[in-house]
């Protein structure tokens, strides 16, 4: 008679933590192969999917059965695999988090995280240690990596940030500047949710040159939006009502963050406002996934970090601004409003 020996639950939990990177890589591969797209219209066999994505059928079956244990696909009793609501977040034909999954599996990002110990010991970015240059310099010289990061930011903005910003009060006639707005996902949703408003997408010239092919194409065609190239370290467009910085300030150390905010302050009218949309760290020891995003800033950027509300208020004060409220928030992102002091 066999005897079943119970597993040590702490050891099981630890193994789960230590293999978390394996899961991330498997999910990223599923995103790259567009597995969710193939399952969008019904169950299919591993061999059928493999033929469609140019993969080895027995090996893809091994991947799919592992992904079924984390809910990305469902393995059925008849041997077929079907899609799931969670897996649908990896589809390429609808707004999703696929871009973020591709970033998680990319070598330039993964290699930087492999040097986390270097950052912890020195306080310096692991990315620079591994790649020999700061992340934004690397991205300018490696367009494919830049597109991977842009796709991740579009995914993150569309799913988490844009709805929060769109919930802010933007009355008709209001002029919104999306400072460092990338491809314009946040501004596009704010304009769509607030009829009668107009906007300016402000980012580096090589970024805004592609705005007409992105989420703002309709607003640009209708004349509700302009795309202006420049650096927020030099200046921002002046005389507008709201200056939105979505997921921007956390990339920079305090001095450079104050420089960006100061340039916004100089451009503002007395009745203008700055809206900073960020994942805000809670004060104290409460559990939060934002602590992991803070480590991402440590690994990837020189001086970037997630901040508490009081830390943002201190940045505002240094830039000649005063904190004036929280017009919108979600469990993940918060919009902090500041006005001229």
Q: pLDDT of 294-310, one tens digit each?
A: 999 999 999 999 999 99
* CB-based contact 289:306 (threshold 8 Å): no
Tell me how many helices (H) and strands (E) the chain has.
18, 9
Q: pLDDT of 28-49, one tens digit each?
A: 999 999 999 999 999 999 999 9
Q: pLDDT of 166-210, one tens digit each?
A: 999 999 999 999 999 999 999 999 999 999 999 999 999 999 998
In the chain, list all ranges with CATH 3.40.50.150. Answer: 156-340
Mean per-residue pLDDT of the chain: 96
The answer to whether 41 is a known catalytic residue is: no
Task: Tell me the pLDDT band of 131, cut-offs 50, 70 and 90.
Answer: very high
Q: Do β-strands 334-340 and 273-278 pair in parallel, antiparallel, or remain unpaired?
A: antiparallel
Q: pLDDT of 231-245, one tens digit each?
A: 999 999 999 999 999
> Nearest to residue 69, comparing CAs of 84, 59, 56, 54?
84
Q: Which of 61, 138, 247, 250 is catalytic?
A: 250
Asked whether residue 284 carries a pLDDT value surpassing 90, the answer given is no
The single residue listed with the structure tokens 């299919």 is 44
Residue range 232-259: mean pLDDT, rounded: 97
Q: Which pLDDT belongs to residue 210?
A: 87
**218 token code pair:** 């309709």
Q: Do β-strands 81-83 and 225-229 pair in parallel, antiparallel, or remain unpaired?
A: unpaired
Q: Which pLDDT belongs to residue 286?
A: 87
CATH number corresponding to 9-100 = 1.10.10.10
Q: pLDDT of 316-337, one tens digit each?
A: 999 999 999 999 999 999 999 9
Task: Tell me the pLDDT band of 3, cut-offs 50, 70 and 90.
Answer: confident
- Does the domain at 156-340 match CATH 3.40.50.150? Answer given as yes
Query: What is the per-residue DSSP string for 105-137?
Result: H-HHHHHHHTTHHHHHHHSS-HHHHHHSS-HHH
Task: Tell me the pLDDT band of 5, cut-offs 50, 70 and 90.
Answer: confident
In the chain, list all ranges with CATH 1.10.10.10. Answer: 9-100
Residues 6+ apart with CB under 8 A from 54: none
pTM equals: 0.92
Asked whether residue 21 carries a pLDDT value surpassing 90, the answer given is yes
**Residue 338 pairs with which residues in a beta bridge?**
274, 323
Cα-only R_g, the chain: 22
């Amino acid at each position: 008679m066999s005897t079943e020996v119970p597993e040590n639950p702490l050891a099981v939990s630890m193994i789960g933590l230590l293999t978390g990177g394996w899961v991330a890589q498997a999910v990223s591969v599923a995103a790259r192969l567009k597995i969710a797209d193939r399952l969008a219209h019904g169950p299919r066999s591993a061999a059928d999917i493999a033929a469609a994505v140019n993969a080895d059928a027995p090996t893809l079956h091994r991947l799919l059965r592992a992904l079924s244990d984390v809910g990305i696909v469902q393995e059925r009793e008849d041997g077929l695999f079907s899609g799931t609501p969670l897996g649908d977040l990896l589809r390429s034909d609808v707004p999703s988090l696929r871009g973020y999954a591709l970033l998680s599996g990319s070598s330039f990002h993964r290699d930087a995280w492999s040097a986390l110990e270097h950052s912890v010991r020195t306080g310096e970015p692991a990315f620079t240690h591994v790649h020999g240059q700061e992340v934004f310099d690397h991205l300018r010289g490696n367009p494919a990596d830049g597109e991977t990061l842009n796709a991740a930011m579009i995914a993150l903005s569309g799913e988490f940030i844009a709805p929060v910003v769109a919930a802010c009060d933007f009355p008709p006639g209001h002029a919104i500047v999306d400072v460092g707005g990338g491809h314009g996902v946040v501004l596009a949703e704010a304009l769509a949710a607030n009829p009668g408003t107009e906007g300016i997408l402000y980012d580096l010239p090589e970024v805004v040159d592609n705005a007409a092919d992105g989420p703002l194409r309709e607003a640009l065609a209708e004349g509700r939006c302009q795309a202006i190239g420049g650096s927020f370290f030099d200046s921002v467009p002046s005389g507008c009502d709201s200056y939105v910085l979505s997921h921007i300030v956390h990339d920079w150390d305090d001095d450079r963050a104050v420089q960006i905010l100061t340039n916004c302050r100089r451009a503002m009218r007395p009745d203008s406002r700055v809206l900073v949309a960020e994942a805000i760290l809670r004060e104290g020891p409460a559990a939060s996934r934002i602590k992991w995003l803070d480590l991402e800033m440590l690994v990837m950027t020189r001086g970037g970090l997630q901040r508490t509300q009081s830390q943002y208020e201190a940045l505002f004060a240094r830039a000649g601004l005063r904190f004036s409220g929280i017009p919108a928030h979600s469990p993940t992102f918060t919009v902090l409003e500041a006005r001229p002091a």
